[in-house]
Amino acid sequence: MRILVIGAAGMIGRKLVHALLQAGTVNGKPIRYLTLADIVAPERPDFDGEIETIASDLSRPGAAKRLISLRPDIIFHLAAVVSGEAEADFEKGYRVNLDGTLSLFEAIRHEGMERPYTPRVVFTSSIVVFGEPLPPIISDTHCVTPLTSYGTQKAIGELLLADYSRKGILDGIGIRLPTISIRPGKPNRAASGFFSSILREPLIGEEAILPVSETVRHWFASPRAATRFLLHAAEIDTRSLGHLRTITMPGLSATVGDQIEALRRVAGDGATQLIRREPNEAIASIIAGWPQGFDTRRAEALGFQGEASFEEIIRVHIEDELGNRIREHA
Amino acid sequence: MRILVIGAAGMIGRKLVHALLQAGTVNGKPIRYLTLADIVAPERPDFDGEIETIASDLSRPGAAKRLISLRPDIIFHLAAVVSGEAEADFEKGYRVNLDGTLSLFEAIRHEGMERPYTPRVVFTSSIVVFGEPLPPIISDTHCVTPLTSYGTQKAIGELLLADYSRKGILDGIGIRLPTISIRPGKPNRAASGFFSSILREPLIGEEAILPVSETVRHWFASPRAATRFLLHAAEIDTRSLGHLRTITMPGLSATVGDQIEALRRVAGDGATQLIRREPNEAIASIIAGWPQGFDTRRAEALGFQGEASFEEIIRVHIEDELGNRIREHA
């Protein structure tokens, strides 16, 4: 079995590669060849089989063709210019997120014209395809109304994935990831950053800033759950998807207050006291248009599983990122 | 006021140009310049102002730039490879319907980078963006699930229109047209053809074939209503659209039985006796996945008006296409 991961150097990409190597198989078939591509060449992990790491910009002529000429059985397409950058640099966002995806699908179509070839393509979309007007609980049949160019490009990718699948060119499955919490790493300036930092920083004894009210509600999954979704998407029988090739992944609908209470239960009052309230109107108004909850019975029936509580999400972070240790508080 | 009609040689395009010339103004401003473009140069109508007819393939390099360099105030974008052809010729469908639309929007963006320019863009979409699974009544917030490449390309056009509008590059409004009945002209092989021919042929004393049951229900508007929708879309205040830039147009939900009964009332039993039942399983199964009705309160609140009965639709055809005369039947 040959696997291609595009976007292998990103946070989820690295975790996916790690999980693939740990599993060693997909649907019981051993992974023998692994190609890791990203805009910069990804790190080369220890692997018994054949491995290749490639610096590749999908939107450049010939780049997709080169990756597809290896005829991978499974393609994880995680590569994207992220939300803030796609909004600031309109041309770059469309070039990478739209042209890049279209180039990939076209390379697959051309490869299949030479000899039959219908790879499984796992495409990561995002709940940011949804925007106002939104009901409190959003189903898979609710219209997509992206309020960013990034969300627009992901929504277009979903449509292309469905049409190329319908035509038998590829065997696509799109998964809309919840907001990932707790993101490992340093605080960043993304509007959603505080959803991770108010937990991540106190767990290592550092202060974090909360810019919104504790009543703000949003939709979350851990990096470990996101990785599990990707692996499961590579394995399931796509015939059960019908025409709806993209599925909103299960998540946890939680308020900031729920997050803080979970932190208190796991790490004590000392941890929660490190959260400093600094209301920020700009961030609050961006967040106000975001989804609060989804009906994901369809994903659950297909075997996708999210987290049941924010304590579980915090414990995943402590196990996976902190070597199972948290800092003691006074 | 300068107006550009792309797709001016098509059935709706020609009717739109005729209606524009009859009105003479848009929002009270006189139409002084008219550019008519299509894949073949459209006919040149009588017009007091300046008129240009251009053979232009939007998907060719430089074609969109040339049309936009005239800086039209209003652009009607009706050009498309139709459903059957886009399905049969995958590359051509994507080239014209996706690349062509994107080229147009990009040409507008580049024109606006030189000097401020934000034209009104009226984009024709279609109810074929919807496909199974469908509720009996479809609202503007129902997800799009196109079951054809044409529907996919229209759905992508809607997303691009919304994003380019949100960014202030253009002032877009998308209108999803119902199935047009009665289409003038000769019978064709489109799956939907019988929805027009079972009325059009008997009105001129010719036989028509009905391939489905009389209980089949679908969503209709006359060519005259479609033209009215386009003109109204050019005039309304788009600020009231919010983030939902595309609107499903009002139509008439009617069964084939309703169509035949209206024909009987307008043209008598002699006309309905010219309809020959020839059940066709292939056509019936295609039609089975089509929408049956829409909730168009939003469009109506914005001032879009469809027909109230199939008799009205038939009378429109008799007035506009048959010089107000129908053939007498025994």
Dihedral angle of Cα A198, A199, A201, A204, to the nearest 10 degrees:
160
Q: What is the mean pLDDT of residues A190-213?
A: 94
Give which of A175, A266, A173 is closest to A227, Cα–Cα.
Answer: A175
Task: Look at residue B125 and tell me if it is in a domain.
Answer: yes
Strands (E), B103-261: 120-126, 171-177, 179-180, 208-210, 217-221, 246-248, 252-255
Specify the pLDDT at position B328.
62
CA distance B49 to chain A (A): 38
Q: Express each pLDDT in A235-286 by its tens digit.
A: 999 999 998 999 999 999 999 999 999 999 999 999 999 999 999 998 898 8
Kind plus residue range of the DSSP H or E element containing B6: strand B2-6
Mutation for A interface: B59, B159, B298, most A CBs within 10 A? B159
Closest CB to A167 among B90, B144, B145? B90
Which residue do the tokens 């042209």 mark? Answer: A99
Same domain, A63 and A159: yes
Q: Which residues of chain B lie closer than 8 angstroms to A131, CB-CB?
A: 243
Q: What is the mean pLDDT of residues A115-134?
A: 95
3-state secondary structure of A133: coil
Could B159 and A156 be called an inter-chain contact, meaning their C-beta atoms sit closer than 8 Å?
A: yes
Kind plus residue range of the DSSP H or E element containing A255: strand A252-255
Spell B53-87 as b/e; 16+ CB within 10 A means b. bbebbbbeeebbeebbeeebbbbbbbbbbebbebb
CATH number, domain containing residue A269:
3.90.25.10
Residue B147, token pair as written in the block: 């079951």
Task: Look at residue A183 and tell me if it is in a domain.
Answer: no
Q: What is the mean pLDDT of residues B308-313?
A: 96
The answer to whether A161 faces chain B, any CB pair under 8 Å, is no
Task: Look at residue B255 and tell me if it is in a domain.
Answer: no
Residue of B nearest to A140 (CA): B143
Tell me what percent of the residues of chain B surpass a pLDDT of 90: 89
Q: Phi and psi (nearest 5°) for B277?
A: -80, 120
Q: Which residues of chain A lie closer than 8 angstroms to B142, CB-CB?
A: 141-143
Beta bridge partners of A246: A174
Residues 71-130 of A with CB under 8 A from B: 90, 109
Specify the pLDDT at position B330.
45
Question: Given phi > 0 = left and psi -120 to 50 = alpha, else beta, which region is A324?
Answer: left
Same domain, A166 and A86: yes
Closest CB to A159 among B109, B152, B167? B152
Same domain, A74 and A136: yes
The long-range contacts involving B308-313, CB below 8 angstroms and separated by at least 24 positions, are B308/B252, B309/B252, B309/B262, B310/B220, B310/B252, B310/B254, B310/B258, B310/B259, B310/B261, B310/B262, B310/B263, B311/B262, B311/B265, B311/B266, B312/B222, B313/B181, B313/B182, B313/B220, B313/B221, B313/B222, B313/B252, B313/B262
Task: Look at residue B304 and tell me if it is in a domain.
Answer: no
Same domain, A43 and A89: yes
Q: Which residues of chain A lie closer than 8 angstroms to B298, CB-CB?
A: none
Alpha-carbon separation of residue B268 from B13, B265, B271, B317, B322 (angstroms): 32, 6, 6, 16, 17
Specify the pLDDT at position B286.
83
Could A143 and B142 be called an inter-chain contact, meaning their C-beta atoms sit closer than 8 Å?
A: yes
Mutation for A interface: B156, B165, B245, most A CBs within 10 A? B156
Residue B257, token pair as written in the block: 């039985």
Specify the pLDDT at position B213.
96
The answer to whether A243 faces chain B, any CB pair under 8 Å, is yes
Task: Look at residue A76 and tell me if it is in a domain.
Answer: yes
Q: What is the mean pLDDT of residues B309-326?
A: 94
Q: Express each pLDDT in B100-147 by its tens digit.
A: 999 999 999 999 999 999 999 999 999 999 998 899 999 989 999 999
Could B243 and A141 be called an inter-chain contact, meaning their C-beta atoms sit closer than 8 Å?
A: no
The yes-or-no verdict on residue A191 having pLDDT over 90 is no
Task: Look at residue A184 and tell me if it is in a domain.
Answer: no
Specify the pLDDT at position A301.
97
Q: What is the mean pLDDT of residues B312-326?
A: 94
Rounded distance, CA A61 to CA A66, Å? Answer: 10
CB A33 within 8 A of CB A58: no
Q: What is the mean pLDDT of residues A299-325?
A: 96
ipTM over 0.85: yes
Lowest mean pLDDT among A189-198, A255-264, B227-236: A189-198
Could B155 and A152 be called an inter-chain contact, meaning their C-beta atoms sit closer than 8 Å?
A: no
Task: Look at residue A188 and tell me if it is in a domain.
Answer: no
Tell me what percent of the residues of chain A surpass a pLDDT of 70: 99
Rounded distance, CA B37 to CA B197, Å? Answer: 29
Could A163 and B143 be called an inter-chain contact, meaning their C-beta atoms sit closer than 8 Å?
A: no
Across chain B, what does the average pLDDT equal? 95
DSSP code of residue A268: -
Amino acid at A50: E
Residue of B nearest to A154 (CA): B159
Q: What is the mean pLDDT of residues B37-53?
A: 94
Across chain A, what does the average pLDDT equal? 95
Same domain, A157 and A8: yes
Closest CB to B144 among A143, A146, A166? A143
CA distance A60 to chain B (A): 17
Q: At a CB cut-off of 8 Å and minimum separation 6, what does B246 contact?
A: B123, B125, B158, B161, B162, B173, B174, B175, B176
Strands A120-126 and A217-221: unpaired
Residues 124-153 of B with CB under 8 A from A: 131-133, 140-147, 149, 152
The yes-or-no verdict on residue A190 having pLDDT over 80 is no
CATH number, domain containing residue B85:
3.40.50.720
The yes-or-no verdict on residue B153 having pLDDT over 90 is yes
Catalytic residues of A: 150
Same domain, A170 and A227: yes
Closest CB to A141 among B142, B166, B243? B142
Specify the pLDDT at position B139.
92
Residue A58, token pair as written in the block: 């999908």
CA distance A291 to chain B (A): 15
Q: Which residues of chain B lie closer than 8 angstroms to A167, CB-CB?
A: 90, 149
Residues 173-202 of B with CB under 8 A from A: none
Beta bridge partners of B26: B29
Same domain, A65 and A122: yes
For A288, the domain range is 194-219+251-295+302-321
The answer to whether A288 faces chain B, any CB pair under 8 Å, is no
Q: What is the mean pLDDT of residues A57-71?
A: 96
Could B90 and A144 be called an inter-chain contact, meaning their C-beta atoms sit closer than 8 Å?
A: no
CB B248 within 8 A of CB B299: yes
Task: Look at residue B280 and tell me if it is in a domain.
Answer: no
DSSP code of residue A147: S
CA distance A220 to chain B (A): 23
Same domain, A212 and A154: no
Q: Which residues of chain A lie closer than 8 angstroms to B133, CB-CB?
A: 141, 242-244
| Residue B175 preceded by cis peptide, ω within 30 | no
Q: Which residues of chain A lie closer than 8 angstroms to B143, CB-CB?
A: 140-144, 244
Residues 213-242 of A with CB under 8 A from B: 242
Q: Which residues of chain A lie closer than 8 angstroms to B152, CB-CB?
A: 159-160, 162-163
Rounded distance, CA A241 to CA A255, Å? Answer: 31
Specify the pLDDT at position A329.
56
CA distance A131 to chain B (A): 9
Starting at the earlier edge strand, list the strands of the sheet with B217-221: B179-180, B217-221, B252-255
Strands B74-77 and B120-126: parallel
CA distance A142 to chain B (A): 5
CA distance A319 to chain B (A): 39
Alpha-carbon separation of residue A242 from A117, A246, B111, B133 (angstroms): 21, 10, 42, 9
Per the structure, how many domains does chain A have? Answer: 2
Same domain, A162 and A134: yes
Q: At a CB cut-off of 8 Å and minimum separation 6, what does B274 contact?
A: B201, B202, B205, B206, B207, B208
